[in-house]
Amino acid sequence: MSGKPRLFMTRKVFDEVIDRLREKFEVEVWDRYQPPPYEVLLEEALKSDALYTLLTDKIDCSLLEKASPRLRIVAQMAVGYDNIDVECATKYGVYVTNTPGVLTDAVAELTWALILAVTKRIVEADVFVRWGEWKRLETGWHPMMMLGVELKGKTLGILGMGRIGKRVAEIGKAFGMKIIYHSRKRKEDVEKELGAEYRSLEDLLKESDILSIHVPLSPETKHLIGEKELRMMKPTAILINTARGPVVDTEALVKALREGWIAGAGLDVFEEEPLDPNHPLTAFKNVVLAPHIGSATKETRMKMAMMAAENLIAFSEGKVPPNLVNKDVVKIRPPGFED
Ligand code: NAP
Ligand code: GLV
């Protein structure tokens, strides 16, 4: 290839990261706060050798098929890659990379922020003070005021015992909780380390006081938690989702909250993002909402941005990128931009 390969970045990230990428690529950055519309993404993909993407960019088979004669790699700045048709990418010899591990602590901490916010009624309490209800009631301290839920001795259920699920479980252990989990495979290391116990999905739903979801979004996990599953939960249970919105059937969740099948929810992810402020979920006092900020710490976002860049740089040097998702792609095309 004569000259540097062209890289299209679908959003601006840290200057240090872009400068590092400029050493190896001709970099074009989509500079707006909103994601590029699909037509723009397609137009840019057609004239690029590499894409730097976010989870809001739809990289479907039609785009990959059209762009793949030139496009060689899609480097996602996220651990989840359900926005990318990975099977199709492999078929057309396009490498797909992600950013696992560096965001585990940030997401686990945010998960715990939601667990604590719901069980200790933190958002409600803030509004109570801020909007004068506390003052209006003239009750400095009342034995029955704003009673929440204690965590020690309760059962924390982890759905998806991977990197984030394990870290959430470790913190739960420090709170004195019993840990149960469901995953596709049993995790003997976690069972040994944390005394965590494996459960079928049904038993996990029935026994958990806090059910925290950490599975990736896939055809198998879409609406994994629907009406049937929510009806199995305890009426005192709290559902936490920091994985992907479509893992939970939103309509069923709204019904569950309205009819008291469960006691509350903490949600960082939604079937439709951004969530409409008039969505029924915004009407519940026992639901705490966040705008998909699981990995949103300065430290983590910098690590994610640099990791995505390093995957691109390794590929440009003819190396298999360290965080390759579709391992079989190496059989279709070797790494690098040379033909
Ligand atoms: P991970 O290490 O791959 O863990 C995912 C776990 O889910 C794996 O242990 C896997 O089980 C399990 N799993 C997959 N399909 C399952 C199924 N059908 N039933 C039961 N368990 C299943 O991934 P991670 O790094 O922890 O990330 C998890 C997810 O969190 C990401 O995919 C992403 O969607 C989400 N996330 C959200 C945010 C945010 O901002 N809110 C940030 C980062 C990540 P096995 O090991 O048994 O195969
Ligand atoms: C964020 O949601 C991620 O998957 O990294």
The ranges assigned to domains in the chain are 6-102+298-332, 104-289
What architecture is the 6-102+298-332 domain classified under in CATH?
Answer: 3-Layer(aba) Sandwich (3.40)
Res 14: pLDDT: 98
What distance in Å separates the CA atoms of residue 48 and residue 21, rounded to the nearest whole number? 14
**147 Cα–ligand 2 center, Å:** 34
Res 2: pLDDT: 79
**Which of 221, 267, 295, 300 to mutate for ligand 2's pocket (most ligand atoms within 8 Å of CB)?**
295
Tally of CA atoms within 13 A in the half-sphere of 264 that contains its CB: 22
Average pLDDT per block of 10 residues along the chain, 339 residues long: 93 98 98 97 98 98 97 98 98 98 98 99 98 95 96 98 98 98 98 98 99 98 99 98 99 98 99 98 98 98 98 98 98 94
- Residue 26 annotated to the active site: no
Q: Which residues of 275-293 are buried (b: 16+ CB within 10 A; e: fewer)?
A: beeeeebeeeebbbbbebe
Which ligand is closest in space to the CA of residue 101?
A: 1
> Can 6-102+298-332 and 104-289 be said to share one CATH topology?
yes
- Residue 338 annotated to the active site: no
Hey, what CATH topology would domain 104-289 get?
Rossmann fold (3.40.50)
**215 Cα–ligand 1 center, Å:** 3
